[in-house]
Structure 1
């Protein structure tokens, strides 16, 4: 029997758009696109890539903590980046800082725009809780 555990930040967008932040099905956790929101759901750091990525990863850490998972259990990351050529170095630096020696698979897509004015990054993840840290 498959067990399912859903996680939400309890921000308005979850009900407005009809989605969950993460859902665990057995050993895999699929995480919706995380972005630079505070705990009340307010968008932060318009047009500041480094600050948005830092807040995005902080929000993702809340999900990891909920499931008792670690960064070393992340198996896949997809990043959506506005102005990819301009922000490529910041993507690399942010990933190296966040993941350390762990190397999940990663896809980076350059996009024209994201949900909020000034939003320049969003990232989603897949976590395998069977992996050992």
Structure 2
């Protein structure tokens, strides 16, 4: 029987939109799209792709930490990027910096807009806890 464990950052958007930041079902953890918000749920770095990417990955780390897993256990990620052609190099650089030698499956989608005004990146993950940390 699988156990389900839900994680939230306890920011207003979770109740406003009715979602969880992550849910663990058995060995898999599905992480909702992370973005550049702070501890109070305030969005920061409008239109600043590099700063948003850094904060987005930092928020993802909080989810991974909650489940006591590492970046090496991320099996796939999906990145949603506004102005992908303009931000492609920064996307690749940020990805390489975040994952190092680990290479999860990755899909990058260019989109015209995201939920919040000035938001230019959002990243979701799937983590497999059976993989070595």
- Calculate the TM-score normalised by the size of structure 1: 0.99
* Alignment RMSD: 0.4
Structure 1 unaligned residues grouped into runs of 5+: none
Structure 2 unaligned residues grouped into runs of 5+: none
What is the CA deviation profile of residues 51-101 of structure 1, one whole-angstrom value per residue up to 9, with x for unaligned ones?
A: 000000000000000000000000000000000000000000000000000
The DSSP-based 3-state class of the residue aligned with 2:72 is: helix
The DSSP-based 3-state class of the residue aligned with 2:37 is: coil
Question: What does residue range 4-19 of structure 1 map to in structure 2 within 5 Å?
Answer: 4-19=4-19
The equivalent residue for 1:114 is: 114
Residues 1:71 and 2:71 are matched in the alignment: yes
Alpha-carbon distance, 1:19 to partner: 0.2
Alpha-carbon distance, 1:118 to partner: 0.7
Alpha-carbon distance, 1:2 to partner: 1.1
Q: Give the ranges of 4+ consecutive aligned residues of structure 1 lying more than 6 Å apart after TM superposition.
A: none
The DSSP-based 3-state class of the residue aligned with 2:81 is: strand
- Calculate the TM-score normalised by the size of structure 2: 0.99
> Following the alignment from structure 2 to structure 1, what is the Cα–Cα distance between the partners of residues 75 and 122?
17
Question: What does residue range 53-72 of structure 1 map to in structure 2 within 5 Å?
Answer: 53-72=53-72
> Following the alignment from structure 2 to structure 1, what is the Cα–Cα distance between the partners of residues 15 and 32?
14
> Following the alignment from structure 2 to structure 1, what is the Cα–Cα distance between the partners of residues 22 and 124?
10
> Following the alignment from structure 1 to structure 2, what is the Cα–Cα distance between the partners of residues 132 and 17?
34
The equivalent residue for 2:91 is: 91
The DSSP-based 3-state class of the residue aligned with 1:50 is: helix
Residues 1:22 and 2:2 are matched in the alignment: no
